[in-house]
Protein backbone atom coordinates (compact mmCIF):
# COMPACT_ATOMS: atom_id res chain seq x y z
CA UNK A 1 0.00 0.00 0.00
CA UNK A 2 1.39 3.48 -0.83
CA UNK A 3 2.62 5.36 2.23
CA UNK A 4 0.08 8.16 1.82
CA UNK A 5 -2.71 5.56 1.91
CA UNK A 6 -1.29 4.24 5.19
CA UNK A 7 -1.46 7.79 6.57
CA UNK A 8 -4.98 8.28 5.20
CA UNK A 9 -6.15 5.07 6.87
CA UNK A 10 -4.69 5.82 10.31
CA UNK A 11 -6.03 9.40 10.18
CA UNK A 12 -9.48 7.94 10.80
CA UNK A 13 -8.28 6.81 14.26
CA UNK A 14 -7.31 10.32 15.37
CA UNK A 15 -8.81 11.52 18.64
CA UNK A 16 -9.56 15.20 18.00
CA UNK A 17 -12.66 16.13 20.06
CA UNK A 18 -11.54 19.76 20.54
CA UNK A 19 -10.22 20.79 17.15
CA UNK A 20 -11.97 18.16 15.01
CA UNK A 21 -8.80 18.36 12.91
CA UNK A 22 -7.61 14.83 12.22
CA UNK A 23 -4.08 14.19 10.99
CA UNK A 24 -2.51 10.92 9.92
CA UNK A 25 1.16 10.16 9.39
CA UNK A 26 3.09 7.17 8.15
CA UNK A 27 6.81 6.62 8.01
CA UNK A 28 8.78 3.95 6.23
CA UNK A 29 11.90 2.94 8.11
CA UNK A 30 15.20 1.98 6.51
CA UNK A 31 14.18 -1.68 6.89
CA UNK A 32 11.02 -1.05 4.83
CA UNK A 33 8.62 -1.43 7.76
CA UNK A 34 5.78 1.10 8.00
CA UNK A 35 4.83 2.85 11.22
CA UNK A 36 1.72 4.96 11.57
CA UNK A 37 0.51 7.66 13.94
CA UNK A 38 -2.42 10.02 14.37
CA UNK A 39 -2.99 13.10 16.49
CA UNK A 40 -4.43 12.64 19.99
CA UNK A 41 -6.02 15.48 21.98
CA UNK A 42 -7.11 15.41 25.61
CA UNK A 43 -8.63 17.77 28.16
CA UNK A 44 -5.31 18.60 29.83
CA UNK A 45 -3.50 19.07 26.52
CA UNK A 46 -6.18 20.09 23.99
CA UNK A 47 -3.67 20.82 21.22
CA UNK A 48 -2.69 17.18 21.62
CA UNK A 49 0.19 15.17 20.33
CA UNK A 50 1.12 15.12 16.69
CA UNK A 51 0.67 12.31 14.20
CA UNK A 52 4.32 12.39 13.13
CA UNK A 53 5.51 12.05 16.74
CA UNK A 54 3.25 9.02 17.18
CA UNK A 55 4.64 7.32 14.09
CA UNK A 56 8.21 8.01 15.20
CA UNK A 57 7.47 6.67 18.69
CA UNK A 58 6.05 3.47 17.17
CA UNK A 59 9.19 3.07 15.04
CA UNK A 60 11.54 3.58 17.98
CA UNK A 61 9.46 1.24 20.17
CA UNK A 62 9.95 -1.40 17.48
CA UNK A 63 13.72 -0.93 17.73
CA UNK A 64 14.31 1.11 14.58
CA UNK A 65 15.92 4.53 14.36
CA UNK A 66 16.17 5.51 10.69
CA UNK A 67 13.39 7.02 8.58
CA UNK A 68 13.46 6.50 4.80
CA UNK A 69 10.17 8.19 3.81
CA UNK A 70 7.37 10.26 5.39
CA UNK A 71 3.71 10.93 4.50
CA UNK A 72 1.27 13.25 6.29
CA UNK A 73 -2.38 13.89 5.46
CA UNK A 74 -5.14 16.16 6.80
CA UNK A 75 -8.45 17.60 5.64
CA UNK A 76 -7.34 21.14 4.86
CA UNK A 77 -7.35 23.51 1.88
CA UNK A 78 -3.61 22.99 1.35
CA UNK A 79 -1.15 20.30 2.45
CA UNK A 80 -0.28 20.73 6.13
CA UNK A 81 3.38 20.67 7.17
CA UNK A 82 4.49 19.11 10.45
CA UNK A 83 4.78 21.44 13.45
CA UNK A 84 8.22 22.69 14.47
CA UNK A 85 8.68 20.03 17.13
CA UNK A 86 7.88 17.25 14.70
CA UNK A 87 10.21 18.74 12.10
CA UNK A 88 13.05 18.47 14.62
CA UNK A 89 12.02 14.90 15.49
CA UNK A 90 12.03 13.99 11.79
CA UNK A 91 15.49 15.56 11.45
CA UNK A 92 16.70 13.42 14.37
CA UNK A 93 15.80 10.18 12.59
CA UNK A 94 16.05 11.05 8.88
CA UNK A 95 18.76 12.32 6.55
CA UNK A 96 18.09 15.65 4.89
CA UNK A 97 17.28 14.06 1.53
CA UNK A 98 14.48 11.85 2.90
CA UNK A 99 11.28 12.52 0.92
CA UNK A 100 8.22 13.92 2.68
CA UNK A 101 4.77 13.88 1.05
CA UNK A 102 2.22 16.30 2.51
CA UNK A 103 -1.34 15.75 1.31
CA UNK A 104 -4.96 16.80 1.72
CA UNK A 105 -7.86 14.40 1.82
CA UNK A 106 -9.01 16.01 -1.45
CA UNK A 107 -5.86 14.86 -3.25
CA UNK A 108 -3.56 17.89 -3.28
CA UNK A 109 0.06 17.00 -2.55
CA UNK A 110 3.30 18.77 -1.85
CA UNK A 111 6.56 16.84 -1.99
CA UNK A 112 9.68 18.06 -0.27
CA UNK A 113 12.61 16.77 1.78
CA UNK A 114 13.31 16.81 5.50
CA UNK A 115 16.02 19.44 4.87
CA UNK A 116 13.50 21.65 3.07
CA UNK A 117 11.11 21.30 6.02
CA UNK A 118 13.78 22.29 8.53
CA UNK A 119 16.70 24.18 7.01
CA UNK A 120 19.60 24.60 9.40
CA UNK A 121 18.39 21.78 11.67
CA UNK A 122 20.32 21.16 14.86
CA UNK A 123 22.07 17.81 14.62
CA UNK A 124 24.72 15.56 16.15
CA UNK A 125 27.44 17.42 14.29
CA UNK A 126 26.75 20.54 16.32
CA UNK A 127 27.89 18.71 19.44
CA UNK A 128 31.27 17.66 18.07
CA UNK A 129 34.03 19.30 20.09
CA UNK A 130 36.96 18.02 18.04
Identified catalytic residue from 12, 47, 52, 116: 52
Please report, in range form, the residues annotated as the binding site: 39-45, 50, 83, 86
Taking the CA atoms of the chain, what radius of gyration do you get in angstroms?
14
DSSP state of 120: T
CA distance 108 to 33: 25
Please report, in range form, the residues annotated as the binding site for Zn(2+): 50, 83, 86
Q: Are 111 and 98 in contact (CB under 8 A)?
A: no
Question: What is the SS3 assignment for 125?
Answer: helix
Query: Strand locations in the chain, DSSP E?
Result: 23-29, 34-38, 67-74, 99-104, 109-113
Let me know if 52 is a catalytic residue: yes
Residues designated as active site: 52
Amino acid sequence: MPLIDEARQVRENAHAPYSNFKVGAAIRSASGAVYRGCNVENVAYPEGTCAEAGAIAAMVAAGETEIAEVAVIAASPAPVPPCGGCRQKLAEFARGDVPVTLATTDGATLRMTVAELLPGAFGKGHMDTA
